[in-house]
């Protein structure tokens, strides 16, 4: 569990991908590996998600693979069977969290209020996805909602992009950011894997720049 979190923290960004055609999965994984960002959250928003996970787990074992938009325990179980090593959900679901923790798998439920955060804390979690962070109010909201909860860290997601990434990563309680801007559905559909690789390269540069200039790690 700790190892996955350490890697997510090191990468600073978790690319969220929605795959319609399982044939695209491997090329997409290669683009992220070539771009120096070997991490991917496959969203359970299409029927292809499970198969995409299976193919990547088999062909690109060096990529840190997880599943997102997990709404049920069955989906969590399918994702883990397919090779996912972490689980994201848009909201907090105590059953999904309990299931993942029992399997010893890191789980990051989405929270957006202090009530959500308290429920997640009760489940024993210390790192939460803050979603959808930009419409909620960006870093200002993040700092305000987090202030009563010392020791809790966040993965802001929802509206994060290359333009605002450094603002989020500069907040000490931010482990990493999640987002679809590196590999948006349109780029995957257009099979523009070079574009995805180039955005991964640009993203890594932003992460490195922020980390170099900051006093925290």
In the numeric block, the tokens 């105590």 are attached to: 94
Q: Does 164 bind ligand 3PG (CB under 6 A)?
A: no
Q: Does 15 bind ligand 3PG (CB under 6 A)?
A: no
Measured between alpha carbons, how far is residue 81 from residues 3, 92, 130, 188, 198 in Å?
A: 19, 22, 26, 24, 31
Q: Does 68 bind ligand 3PG (CB under 6 A)?
A: yes
Indicate the residue among 22 and 178 with the shorter CB distance to ligand 3PG.
178
CA dist., res. 27 & res. 56, Å (int): 9
Among residues 169, 182, 156, 150, the alpha carbon closest in space to that of 214 is found at 169
Secondary structure class of 179 (helix, strand, coil): strand
Q: Does 38 bind ligand 3PG (CB under 6 A)?
A: no
By CB under 6 A, name the one of 99, 158, 164, 173 that touches ligand 3PG.
158
Cβ 194 vs Cβ 4: under 8 Å: no
Q: Measured in whole angstroms, how far is the alpha carbon of residue 93 from the centre of its chain?
A: 17
By CB under 6 A, name the one of 179, 183, 187, 207 that touches ligand 3PG.
179
Q: Does 180 bind ligand 3PG (CB under 6 A)?
A: yes
41 flagged as catalytic: yes
129 flagged as catalytic: yes
Catalytic choice (27, 34, 41, 212): 41
Cβ 196 vs Cβ 187: under 8 Å: yes
Q: Does 187 bind ligand 3PG (CB under 6 A)?
A: no
Measured over the CA atoms of residue 210, residue 212, residue 216 and residue 217, the dihedral's sign is: positive
Cβ 140 vs Cβ 168: under 8 Å: no
Indicate the residue among 157 and 203 with the shorter CB distance to ligand 3PG.
157
Q: Does 16 bind ligand 3PG (CB under 6 A)?
A: yes
By CB under 6 A, name the one of 8, 31, 42, 43 that touches ligand 3PG.
43
Indicate the residue among 24 and 41 with the shorter CB distance to ligand 3PG.
41
Listed in sequence order, the DSSP H helices in the chain are: 2-11, 25-34, 49-59, 73-82, 94-102, 114-122, 133-136, 138-146, 165-169, 185-189, 193-213
Q: Does 36 bind ligand 3PG (CB under 6 A)?
A: no
Indicate the residue among 69 and 203 with the shorter CB distance to ligand 3PG.
69
Residues 117-146 that bind ligand 3PG (CB under 6 A): none
Indicate which residues carry an active-site annotation.
41, 129
Interface contacts to ligand 3PG, rule CB under 6 A: 16, 43, 68-69, 157-160, 178-181
């Amino acid at each position: 569990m700790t190892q996955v979190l350490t890697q997510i923290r090191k990468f600073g960004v978790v690319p969220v991908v929605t795959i319609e055609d399982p044939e695209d999965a491997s090329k997409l994984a290669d683009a992220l590996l070539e771009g120096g960002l070997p991490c991917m959250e496959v969203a359970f928003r299409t029927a292809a998600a499970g198969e995409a996970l299976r193919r990547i787990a088999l062909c690109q074992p060096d990529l840190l693979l997880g599943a997102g938009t997990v709404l049920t325990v069955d989906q969590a179980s399918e994702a883990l069977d397919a090779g996912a090593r972490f689980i994201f959900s848009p909201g907090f679901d105590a059953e999904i969290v309990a299931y993942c923790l029992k399997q010893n798998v890191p789980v990051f439920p989405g929270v957006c209020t202090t009530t959500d955060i308290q429920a997640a804390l009760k489940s024993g979690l210390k790192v939460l996805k803050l979603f959808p962070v930009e419409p909620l109010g960006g870093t200002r909201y993040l700092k305000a909602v987090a202030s009563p909860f010392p020791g809790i860290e966040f993965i802001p997601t929802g509206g994060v992009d290359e333009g605002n990434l450094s603002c989020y990563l500069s907040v000490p309680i931010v482990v990493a950011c999640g987002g679809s801007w590196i590999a948006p559905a349109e780029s995957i559909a257009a099979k523009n894997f070079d574009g995805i690789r180039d955005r991964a390269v640009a993203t890594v540069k932003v992460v490195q720049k922020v980390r170099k200039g900051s006093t925290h790690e």
